[in-house]
Structure 1
Amino acid sequence: MADGLRKGLTSYGDAGFSLFLRKAFIKAMGYSDDALDRPIVGITNTHSDYNPCHGNSPQIIEAVKRGVMLAGALPMVFPTISIGESFAHPTSMYLRNLMAMDTEEMIKAQPMDAVVAIGGCDKTLPAQIMAALSVDLPTVVIPVGPMVVGHHKGEVLGACTDCRRMWGKFRAGEIDQQEIDDVNARLAPSVGTCMVMGTASTMACITEAMGLSLPMSATIPAPHAERFRSAEASGKVAATLAKNKGPKPSEFLTPGSFRNAQVVLQAIGGSTNGLIHLTAMANRTPNRIDLAAFDELGRDVPVLVDLKPSGDHYMEHFHHAGGVPKLMAQLGDLIDLDAKSVTGETLREIVAKAEDVPGQDVIRSKDNPIKREGGLAILHGNLAPRSAVIKHSAASPKLMQHTGRAVVFESVEDMTNRVDDPDLDVTADDVLVLRNAGPKGAPGMPEAGYLPIPMKLARAGVKDMVRISDARMSGTAFGTIVLHITPESAVGGPLALVKNGDMIRLDVAKRSIDLLIDEAEFAKRQAALPPATTPDWAKRGYAHLFHTTILQADDGCDFDFMTEKGKG
């Protein structure tokens, strides 16, 4: 099998000429024959001025190149799409699959014997891993790392859990414009991803637990020198993979690897987004995520990491307490320690070297957990026949069993326009309902599921309410919020049937979410639903591709033709 510069020759009808031309043009960059005869490690470049999460990518790339060359291979950097969470319209999730396709095609189109994927901001790591699993080329993943913490009036701040908390205080009139401006300047004191257990941190931890990245790589703060030493070491590993032609992801990612990812997702109180992304990643392989099994796992796996929004600490504290290796050591037999890492080590070997930090209280033991059950629960009921999810580790215990009156918003725009209306008929005991915010309906399933507390209630001291939607929410968010209701309302899911004043019952212990109307009324409303049509925004280009092929949340929101077997 061809490798190095001879791999994947451009089709000119003459292989010898194709190689001759390739070498002639790349020599214009100043490469020698010695360099061009070595195995090639492709390095993704996801740097962008619109993506502060990836602000350290140029330094990481230089460190990876150094590691690759020290190990005797040739590094070749190539650009891909970069998605910055707060800059992507309408939502970064809308572009995740496009980034996955771009990354997959660029890996396949260009000669490389191994690839280093550098990502971090919420949707970038899953997009890159989806691509890598589809191509099945030897791959090392490098998270860009979390930013360091901020400070305000003697209080530690973390983006973006404290973004939401402080914004809530501002909405409630507890702090003024000057203070919220001060907070705005202090929430993100360095480049890197959010320093709480949001989606970026969740995906970095899952990636490390699966063995796709080097030990400790999930938690090293973005500006720290250790981050760049880890990148150099990752480059060396990638060079070794390129020389040895493996192992490929398919050769060491077992069902146990995917189960380990689910265990860690529960134990860290991870983002609800993490479940969608892990499902999409698994669907690129013969493995699948069984939501019922995931929920059962959550009953057995406690939350052990004391990190916001489920706890009190931040990612740099998690790192200094021993990181993911120490967490897996504490999880013990809940982890398949025979699963392997891209380094060739088993998790058993990695866990054996986990640092023991006396006095640390960030990573708890199983007999002293933050929560007795894992962070996420899967709900079913007549409102969510296929599934819904709640991050109950970051919810209000008093609302875990709750029946309330529905206050319905037809869309994100409708919610924005009416939620703060002083005449809105709403009380703290009601259930806020947002629909048409799913994969097709919004589009892109935005992080609008964190419905704001109506201002008149917020100013009366209300901190939490039951909120339900077919949308997502940021992993940094908190509250009693039911998300990913499937099927979504835009495709005729039961959420489309809810009317203002209907009673809705949530019972997390029973894993249920139900609309309390009789079957005859349910059927009557369902029969009256208008047929789905293609909206104007989806009539051309990528929007059309997205709308016509996007799968539901329980299938990972991938395109139907991008899963392991493609479209039937």
Structure 2
Amino acid sequence: MSNPETTSRDPSQLRSSRWFTPDDLRSFGHRSRLKGMGIDDEDFRDKPVIGILNTWSDLNTCHSHFRERADEVRRGILQAGGFPVEVPVMSLGEMLMKPTTMLYRNMLAMETEEVLRCHPIDAAVLMGGCDKTVPGLLMGAISADIPVAFLPAGPMLKGRWRNETLGSGSDAWKYWAERCAGNLCDAAWGEIENGIARSAGTCMTMGTASTMACIAEAMGMTLPNAASVPAVMAEHSRLAVATGRRCVELAWEQVTPSKVLSAKSIDNAITTLLTIGGSTNAIVHILAFARRIGFQLSLDRFDELSQQVPVLCDLRPSGRFLMEDLFNAGGLRALLKNIDDLLHLDCPTINGRTLGEQIEQGEVIDDEVIRPRTRPLATTGGTCVLRGNLAPDGCVLKTVAADPKLLHHKGPALVFDNYPHLKKMLNDPDLPVTADTVLILRSAGPLGAPGFPEWGMLPIPNKLLQQGVRDMVRISDSRMSGTSYGTCILHVSPESHLGGPLALVQTGDEIELNVTARQLNWNVPPEEIEKRKAAWKPPAQSAVRGYQALFGKHVTQAHEGCDFDFLEGNSPGEEPAIF
């Protein structure tokens, strides 16, 4: 890693100098167009050009404060002697974008890579937060390999209803179940709707957004303790300014993602995911990161580390608290300090120090939120990988959010062919379902849905809710929101759309889950399975044009990261020709 005191400040070494420095007609055109926008030589000459890749949108509720934060990033860049340029990129707002933002994660990754490569940008601040903006931005930056610093959007403030503290997502599911059970009136439901999301920012639970922010920090791609700063606090504004300042130094020091990220930093990401009890969605994104860096990561590595890493973060949906509490308890730095023997402390960070140096001053302020090793929320990591004849390429279960009584379970399958079928049939009074039934949803994977949506927390039928049932074994080839919970087996691979075993299951077949043995099996005779396989017919291709057609032809399966097959591996890093 470069030392800022010894790094050359030769402007001719800046990437942007190829656009602006030569005494030729093309560079004359570049400079004259900047001046047409009212920009003077003193604004940009011999200065690093720092991109601000902003995913703000009026339809992305998590990023509603990003207009102000972009200005604060700009202020930091100017303080450090850089030339800020704001470049909007695709905004992936989880709440309002259909069928799922995951369908467009790779599109944002492609846009990020191309925006960084084709413009005179020496370094960039990546502004994201809502679930798929984080991996999309980072995947593109890894491939472009231009210096970047990630600025997390930050979590929203705690929700409130009467005397209850609300966590977005998790409590929406919880109180919806109570409403369906007949325990919550319309007026109370309206009050919850008004109080569950009280500010700008991402979900305040340890959902996918906060999970990915923590992973970005653990991989060294943010400033220290950036992951948990609430979106609307003054500290977040100061973080934005500091990130802008640091990004100017990154440009001079040429600290590219390839100098920060490695197999060891990916291990740190997995270890962090496990100790925070984070979202299962992160597994898919970490797999994609690894393949972009240039090495093959197996699901087995997640399970291997899971058996070594305790869950110490007592946050919903697995625990009791919210992201604001984690911030007040000392932040991610304090949590990682508690497991420093499980981390690769020599990994570099964009802050110019190793991870070990970055967390050295971490201090736990509240040991109820960040638990000590002697009193973990769970003794091993909160997520496990299952295999068996129902998931030959693997599937995942967030054990820390599941009912322990269901971790070894046998029951008859109740199969829904797709999500519309589930919605139509779920609350039929004659539905053949009991608490022992295993609900199965297919046609919900990367290709089948399409886009790999968050349908994995299958709703419990109303008639069972009214009997007091609050969890069941549920299996799908889809994902679930990081704010969700329950015994939900996800990412079954290969997916049903490709003829994976899930496509062949019939209602009444016995399904067996055994978490201790890491097995998910379908207790049907082999000859019957072969008979069904021979009778199975592939579904028709749904998308015939545009981005969805590209997605359908090139997306990989869940256990491979759901990236495009032509984007895996190290980028050649070729600079654009300037004619």
- Matched to 1:3, the amino acid is L
User: Matches of 2:23 and 2:446 in 1, distance apart?
Assistant: 44
Tell me if 1:45 matches 2:50: no
- Matched to 1:80, the amino acid is V
User: Matches of 1:321 and 1:439 in 2, distance apart?
Assistant: 38
User: Matches of 1:340 and 1:59 in 2, distance apart?
Assistant: 30
User: Matches of 2:363 and 2:81 in 1, distance apart?
Assistant: 31
Which residue of 2 is the match for residue 489 of structure 1? 496
User: Matches of 2:303 and 2:491 in 1, distance apart?
Assistant: 15
Q: Which of 268, 271, 280 is the aligned partner of 1:263?
A: 271
- Matched to 1:108, the amino acid is R
TM-score of the superposition, structure 2-length normalised? 0.95
Give the alignment of 1:488-567 within 5 angstroms. Answer: 488-535=495-542, 538-564=543-569
How far does residue 103 in structure 1 lie from its aligned partner after superposition? 1.3
How far does residue 31 in structure 1 lie from its aligned partner after superposition? 1.0
Tell me if 1:87 matches 2:96: yes
User: Matches of 1:249 and 1:390 in 2, distance apart?
Assistant: 31
User: Matches of 2:119 and 2:166 in 1, distance apart?
Assistant: 43
How far does residue 417 in structure 1 lie from its aligned partner after superposition? 0.9
User: Matches of 2:570 and 2:339 in 1, distance apart?
Assistant: 34
How far does residue 565 in structure 1 lie from its aligned partner after superposition? 5.4
- Cα distance 1:290–1:15, how it changes in 2: closer, same or farther (>3 A)? farther
Q: Which of 171, 190, 207 is the aligned partner of 2:216?
A: 207
How far does residue 22 in structure 1 lie from its aligned partner after superposition? 1.1
- CA-to-partner distance for each residue in 1:513-555, whole Å, 9 max, x for gaps? 01101111111111111135322xx111111101111110011
Give secondary structure in 1 for the equivalent of 2:307: helix
Q: Which runs of 5+ in 1 are unaligned?
A: none
User: Matches of 1:46 and 1:302 in 2, distance apart?
Assistant: 34
Q: Which of 292, 302, 310 is the aligned partner of 1:302?
A: 310
Which residue of 1 is the match for residue 64 of structure 2? 55
The share of aligned pairs that are identical, in percent, is 44
User: Matches of 2:333 and 2:296 in 1, distance apart?
Assistant: 25
User: Matches of 1:549 and 1:291 in 2, distance apart?
Assistant: 21
Give secondary structure in 1 for the equivalent of 2:318: coil
User: Matches of 1:342 and 1:475 in 2, distance apart?
Assistant: 27
Q: Which of 291, 298, 303 is the aligned partner of 1:290?
A: 298
How far does residue 422 in structure 1 lie from its aligned partner after superposition? 1.1
Which residue of 2 is the match for residue 477 of structure 1? 484
- Cα distance 1:221–1:419, how it changes in 2: closer, same or farther (>3 A)? same
User: Matches of 1:351 and 1:201 in 2, distance apart?
Assistant: 18
Q: Which runs of 5+ in 2 are unaligned?
A: 1-11, 573-579
User: Matches of 1:8 and 1:551 in 2, distance apart?
Assistant: 37
Which residue of 1 is the match for residue 382 of structure 2? 375
Give the alignment of 1:106-125 within 5 angstroms. Answer: 106-125=115-134
- Matched to 1:99, the amino acid is L
Q: Which of 86, 97, 104 is the aligned partner of 2:113?
A: 104
Q: How many residues align?
A: 560
Q: Which of 15, 31, 37 is the aligned partner of 1:23?
A: 31
- Matched to 1:53, the amino acid is C
How far does residue 4 in structure 1 lie from its aligned partner after superposition? 5.4
Give the alignment of 1:300-379 within 5 angstroms. Answer: 300-357=308-365, 359-379=366-386
User: Matches of 1:507 and 1:178 in 2, distance apart?
Assistant: 42
- CA-to-partner distance for each residue in 1:207-260, whole Å, 9 max, x for gaps? 00000001111000000000011111111110001122x111111212211100
- Matched to 2:290, the amino acid is A
- Conserved in 2, the CA contact under 8 Å of 1:55 and 1:191? yes
Which residue of 1 is the match for residue 575 of structure 2? none
User: Matches of 1:360 and 1:382 in 2, distance apart?
Assistant: 42
- Conserved in 1, the CA contact under 8 Å of 2:225 and 2:333? yes
User: Matches of 2:425 and 2:571 in 1, distance apart?
Assistant: 42
- Conserved in 2, the CA contact under 8 Å of 1:266 and 1:376? yes
- Conserved in 2, the CA contact under 8 Å of 1:8 and 1:109? no
- CA-to-partner distance for each residue in 1:16-63, whole Å, 9 max, x for gaps? 222111111111221110112111110111110001100111121111
How far does residue 296 in structure 1 lie from its aligned partner after superposition? 1.2
- Conserved in 1, the CA contact under 8 Å of 2:167 and 2:203? yes
- Matched to 1:362, the amino acid is V
Which residue of 1 is the match for residue 412 of structure 2? 405
- CA-to-partner distance for each residue in 1:66-122, whole Å, 9 max, x for gaps? 111111111110010001001111111011111111111111111110011000000
User: Matches of 1:521 and 1:3 in 2, distance apart?
Assistant: 65
